[in-house]
Structures are given as structure tokens and as C-alpha cells.
Amino acid sequence: MTYRAGIIGAGGIAGMGILGMHDAEDIGEKKFRASHAGGYAAHDGVELAAVADVDEEQLGTFCSAWDIPEAGRYTDHTEMLREADLDLVSVCTPSLLHRDPVVDAAEIGDPDLVWCEKPIAASVTEAEEMIAACDREGVELLVNHSFRFTEKLQRLRELVAEGLLGEVHSVSANFRMELMRNSTHLLDTVVYLLDARAERVAGYVTGENEAVDALEADRRVDDAGGGGFVVTREGTFVTVDCTIPREASSMSYQFLGSEGKLYLNNDDGEWRYWRLDDGDHVEADLPGIESAWSWDVDYEEAFPNAVGHILEVLDGEASNPSTGREAKRSLEIIVAFYVSEYTGSQVSVPLAEPLRDVRITSW
């Protein structure tokens, strides 16, 4: 069976290429494997049949690059959802515009699965409305926290669940600014590896935003550098630092547990593990993991891997590995960072009812 897929939002992560990650002259010209369209193209079981974007020029550029015929091009995503008979819908709009396309896809298009970019939404309320609409219509909502679809991280999660680190006491995580755009990766990785749920949060927001220049944006958003600490229900103390300029940043984590410690640096290609042996940390191999994670290999393959998982979900062979409910966990922490900064207080999670409506706009 071949599944028909459509994309809402013909921007960088959809397949156009991203300024700051790809050469400017390649944007809109090359087919990028690390994208939704690239993930679909990697599998014979999927046909990218339709694309929608309100910007007609951008739509034309995207569709020319990805060989989408005129009949599959739409400037109104609701028209695409009514006409194109889609099994899969990717939502690749800016995160502040995720809510309506996801809800519309579930209620109008009736696909089997919606593949939504990260972070899930601009507010917790919007995320909950998206989850509810998909539940109501019997549609799987899968959020593209792409690190979940890399085999090395999947294996590491198994090792942690088997007791590699014992009781995890603390985690330190660092990446470049901004909070919505980049710390969602850090936080979801922690959520994924530890199956963690936040209980108490304190935050700091710098107000600096590099994405305005990196994306040649024509407007500003709330998203900014920042960080803070998170105490999980399990008692793990997590620090997050996304204040670092892009050129100086390195995506890194350190996990300290009762049975060992783990250092992950995804930019420098270094993963190291030490088991705790009679009070001494002794370096050892990570069973089943031969090398460190890398952007050139693992991130490039995350999108084809995601589509592979999606096909397994559609075929009834696997459960959803990145649900909307799990994606809401990292979003709620980010919103709590902002609430904490502007109220000068620590914030309890789950957020109280009025705070669930706090909206953090980003790209």
C-alpha cells in the first residue's frame, strides 16, 4: 500500500532548507533529506501528493524543487484537506501557527496521522486542544522531536531504563538560544531518556533572539535565550542553559546517577559513560552503541527514520513513539520558564488553569 501525504507550510523544515544550517544558495534549490519531504522521499510506501502554503511564491519554489504537480499545490490548507484524500499530513508552519492546521487536519481531512513539527504549540491550552481534536477524530498526533527517531538515542533510552545510571540525581543540559526553538530538543531528550515529568520550575529569559537574523525574519517573536532549573516528580534536578550564541554553542548533557555518569556532546561527537564501582567512576563502553551521535549522520537520518516509524504505526505494527501528550511535557516547562521570569517566582507543574493560556510565540 502507498500512503498519500500532504504538507502544510512549505518552509525550511518541510524541505526548503534552513538558513544557518544550509548554504543560502541551496535554499529552495536542493532536496534536503533532513526534512519532512526528505523523510517521505526515502520510503517507497509514501507519495508526497499535495503541499499548501499561503505564500504562493514560496509554494511554487518548494513544489518545483520537490516535483509536486500543479494539481497538488494549494494556497488554502483547508481546501487541500478536503480535496487531496490524504493519509498523512505534515504540519510545518511556524510553531505559533500549529494549532489550527492540526485541528483542521483532524476535523476536515480525516487522515490517519498528523506529523507536527516541534514544539507542539505556542501554549499548553493550544497543545491540549490539538490533542483533544486528534483523540476525538481517531487521528494519531505524532510530534517531530527528531532525536527520538535516532537509533543511538533509542538504544540509550533502553540502557537507562535497564538501570545504566541507577537513580538519576541530576542532569545538566546546554544548547544555543532560543528556548522554544532549541531547548525543546534538550528538554524532550531528558523527558524521553528518563520518562520524566516536571514538578517545579524556575526560569530566566535573556530577551536575546538570534533567529531574527539567522532566518532573515521580518518580525520579532517572544522566543528568546534563557534557561532555568526543573525538579522532576522523581526528584531529579535538571538545569537547562540555552543562553549561548550559535557560534559558541555545543549541544551537551551530563547525567549523574547512583550507578554511573554519562556525558553526551552531540556537536563534538563525544559520548562517554562511567560506571560507579566502589566509589570510583570507571569509564566503560555503552553496550550496543558503537559511536557518538552526529548531526551529519544521525540527524540527517532522523527524518527518514521518523517516516519509518510512522509507517509502522499506520500498519498497526508499532505504537506512536512521540505523542502529543509527551510533547506537551517539554512545552509546559518552557512556558513555566517564562512565567517564572516575569513573576519572579518558582512555578508548579502542571500549570494552573490561567497559566495554560500563556502563549510564547516562535518560528
Instruction: Write the pLDDT tens digit of every residue in 206-227.
Output: 999 887 766 666 667 899 999 9
Q: Which residue has the cell 494556497?
A: 75
Q: Does 342 have pLDDT greater than 90? A: yes
The torsion of the CA quartet 336, 128, 18, 242, rounded to 10 degrees, works out to 10
Give the integer Cα–Cα distance in Å for 54 and 73.
11
Residues 6+ apart with CB under 8 A from 319: 313
What is the model's pLDDT at position 30?
65
Q: What is the mean pLDDT of the chain?
A: 93
Q: Residue 34 — pLDDT band, cuts 50, 70, 90?
A: confident
Q: Residue 1 — pLDDT band, cuts 50, 70, 90?
A: confident
What mean pLDDT is predicted for residues 4-23? 78
Enumerate the domain spans of the chain.
3-146+300-314, 148-293
> Which fold does the domain 148-293 belong to in CATH?
Dihydrodipicolinate Reductase; domain 2 (3.30.360)
What mean pLDDT is predicted for residues 222-251? 96
Domain 3-146+300-314 of CATH type 3.40.50.300: no
What is the model's pLDDT at position 210?
84
What mean pLDDT is predicted for residues 81-106? 97
Asked whether 136 and 112 are in contact (CB, 8 A), the reply is no
Q: Residue 32 — pLDDT band, cuts 50, 70, 90?
A: confident
The tens digit of pLDDT for each residue in 289-328 reads 999 999 888 988 999 999 999 999 999 999 999 999 999 9
Sheet (strand 46-52) strand order: 73-74, 46-52, 3-8, 88-91, 113-117, 140-144
What is the model's pLDDT at position 20?
47
What is the model's pLDDT at position 186?
95
Q: Does 171 have pLDDT greater than 80? A: yes
What mean pLDDT is predicted for residues 58-70? 93
Report the relative pairing of strands 198-205 and 226-232 from DSSP bridges: antiparallel
Q: Does 236 have pLDDT greater than 70? A: yes
What is the model's pLDDT at position 211?
74
